[in-house]
Structure 1
Amino acid sequence: MNSLKSLYTDVREVLENSIPDYWSALRSLLSNFLQEPMAPEAMLPLASCQAVGGTPKDAIHISAALLTFGACLRILDELEDRDRPGQLWEQVGAARAWNSAAAINVLCFQILSKAPFEPQVFKRINQAFLDACWRISAGQDRDLGGMTKNIEDYWLTIEMKTGAASAMACATGAMAGTDDPNLINACAVFGHHLGLAVQILNDMESIWQPDGITDLQQGKVTLPLLYGLQFDHPKRQELVALVEANEVAANVERIKGILDAIDTRSFLIWAALKEREQALEAIKVCPNAEGKEILESYITGMFGDIDFFSKC
């Protein structure tokens, strides 16, 4: 993994060199996203490229574009949630934050356009980024529109949001290293299940180890609450009544107590581990052992504090 992390300097250089010289404010903003340690998702295209037998350096522009895309999504999430102090929209105002997010999204494709890919490879990678943008936006619209009413709705929403983003990160890295559709698909499937596992753990963290305003405090219905709504238990109707009356935010501690009583965290951990299992199975076909090991370590490392969650 250290050999791939040595490429982070090149990733940072590509990103910084793509920012227009006349927009110092944008450069300053993005510098916050480029601080050490670099966002872990920068590793995904590099490791996927290596796992399929390619040269990781060929995926540098993809990593830079992915980081830029991630910065755009983070700003948009902050604008929509407004759940923590010190966010960009508080510093520069909502209008400038929206403008920055739009510009950073353009920058993502500017970076891709500068990559030294063969035309057919660039076309595949660029299209994969575009497809992911559409799916993520559609998934976010489902979330914002309150279309997640049951667990089936939830899976569709997170598949279109987190699953699509991680699948794209891994698939495009693989595209830089091979034209074998089976290997590219293997990395895409890995990324898909990785994204679902990330979302499940994030939903759990928001309730039991929150950083800022929790999902429950915002009245959001995510997987932990959906589990309580659909699982047959003595307090199910009470939860249903609270959700239907839009009283989730006013009854956070009561809801947490019910979710604890039905051992919701054990279900969430089981669900996330099942996603990890499917992700690891998908990349068994990849030929490069070192790249594959890095991907395996990436998704396994996410579960380092599972014992904490199961006990707190």
Structure 2
Amino acid sequence: MDSLKELYPEVREVLKNSIPNYWSELRYVLKGFLEGAMSPEAMLPLASCQAVNGNPKNAIHISAALLAFGACLRILDDLEDRDRADKLWEKVGTARAWNFACAVNIICFEILSKAPLQLEVFKSINQCYLDTCLRIAAGQDKDLAGVTQTIDDYWLSIQMKTASASAMACATGAMVGTDNSELIQACGVFGHHLGLAIQILNDMESIWQPDGITDLKQGKITLPLLYGLQSNHPEREELMSIVSDNEIATHAERIQEILDHIDTKRFLIWAALKEREQALEAIKICPNAEGREVLESYITGMFGDIDLLLEKPEDDKT
């Protein structure tokens, strides 16, 4: 992993050099991606390229493009959800934030266009990015339209959003390292299940360890609440009544109480671990042990201390 981290300065340099000299404000918007700790997802294309026996140095532009893509999604997510602290739109206004998001997305594709790749490889990677952009937009539209009412609806939505982005990150990295479609698909499948695991854990944290306003306080219907609605338990009718009356935000604390009673966190951890299991299975065919181990460490490390994640609230402890 250390050998891949040594490529981070070059990844940052590619992103930095893609920002127009005449737009200092845009450079400020991307400051967090150019300084301090590197976004962890930058590792995915590099490690995937290495896992298929490619030279990860050749995936530097793919990693830089992913950083720009991630920055765009973060700005858009903050604009649409407005649930996180330190939001760009609060500093510069909604209109400018939308403008910055569009510009950063253009930078993503500019970086790809300048990558030192064979034409056919570039076309495949570029098409993968385009397809993913549309899938993410369609998934986000489902959320904004409020059509996610069942676990099946939810699963389709996060497959289109988080899972497709992670799958793209891993598959495009692999495309740089090999033309073996089976290996490229394996990395994409790894990324798909990685994305699902990330979203499940994010949904859990957004209720029990939020960075800002909880999903329940915003009236959002995410996997924890859907689990409570579709499981058989004594408080299900009360929960269904709250949701049907559109009173989620008003009764956020009571809903969390109910979710604690039915051990929702344990279900979420179990579901995320199942995704991890499928992700690890997918990359067993990747020939390079070092690259494979980096991907394995990535998805295993994000679980941290599972016992701590499963810890019950103080009131429930005996």
TM-score, structure 1 normalization: 0.99
User: Deviation string for 1:210-254 (max 9, x for gaps)?
Assistant: 110010000000000000000011111111111111100011111
Q: Percent identity?
A: 72
1:306 aligns with 2:302: no
CA contact (8 A) 2:51 2:289 kept: yes
Note if contact 1:208-1:309 (Cα within 8 Å) is conserved in structure 2.
no
Residue 34 of structure 1 corresponds to which residue in structure 2?
34
1:14-93 → structure 2 map (5 Å cutoff): 14-93=14-93
Partner of 2:221: 221
**Structure 1 unmatched runs, 5+:** none
Quick check: 1:279 aligned with 2:279? yes
Paired position in structure 1 for 2:291 = 291
* Aligned-partner SS, 1:25: helix
Q: Distance in 2 between matches of 1:86 and 1:226?
A: 29
1:106 aligns with: 106
Work out whether 1:263 is the aligned partner of 2:263.
Answer: yes
Separation in structure 2 between the aligned mates of residue 192 and residue 83 of structure 1, nearest angstrom:
25
Match of 1:249 in 2: 249
Question: Structure 2 CA distance, aligned partners of 1:65 and 1:238?
Answer: 47
The offset of 1:59, in angstroms, is 0.5
- C-alpha offsets along residues 49-107 of structure 1, whole Å, 9 cap, x if unaligned? 00001000010000000000000000011111212343111111110000000010010
Structure 1: distance between partners of 2:50 and 2:305: 28
The CA distance in 1 between the partners of 2:104 and 2:184, in whole Å, is 27
Q: Find the residue that maps to 1:249 and give its secondary structure.
A: coil
Q: Deviations over 1:25-62 (max 9, x none)?
A: 11121112222210000000000000001000010000
Q: 1: distance between equivalents of 2:27 and 2:253?
A: 42
Letter in 1 for 2:272: A
Offset of 1:297 from its aligned partner? 0.1
1:192 paired with 2:178, answer no
Q: Is the 8 A contact 2:16 2:34 kept in 1?
A: no
Partner amino acid, structure 1, of 2:51: A
CA deviation string 1:141-172 (max 9, x = no partner):
01111111000000000000000000000000
Task: Give the structure 1 partner of residue 234 of structure 2.
Answer: 234
Answering whether residue 154 of structure 2 is matched by residue 154 of structure 1, we say yes
Distance 1:307 1:187 in 2: 29
Say whether the 8 Å CA contact 1:167–1:189 is kept in structure 2. Answer: yes
Deviates more, 1:29-38 or 1:104-113: 29-38
How far apart, in 2, do the equivalents of 1:273 and 1:34 lie?
32
**1:169-227: CA deviations, max 9, x gaps?**
00000000000000000000000000000000000001111110010000000000000
Superposed, 1:1-20 pairs within 5 Å as: 1-20=1-20
1:118 alignment counterpart: 118
Q: Tell me which moved more, 221-230 or 234-243.
A: 234-243
Preserved CA contact (<8 Å) 2:12 2:33? no
* Segment of structure 1 superposing worse, 84-93 or 236-245: 84-93
Return the alpha-carbon distance in structure 1 between the equivalents of residues 15 and 179 of structure 2: 26
CA–CA separation in structure 2 for the residues paired with 1:4 and 1:32:
20
Which residue number corresponds to residue 207 of structure 1? 207
| Alpha-carbon shift at residue 24 of structure 1 (Å) | 1.1
Paired residues of 1:217 and 1:249 also in contact (CA < 8 A)? yes
Cα separation, 1, equivalents of 2:169 and 2:59: 10
- Return the TM-score normalized by structure 2: 0.97
The 1-side partners of 2:85 and 2:240 are apart by: 32
| Alpha-carbon distance between aligned partners in 1 of 2:86 and 2:120, rounded to the nearest angstrom | 43
Give the aligned residue type for 2:58.
D
Distance across 1 between alignment mates of 2:80 and 2:112: 27
CA distance in 2, matches of 1:280, 1:133: 26
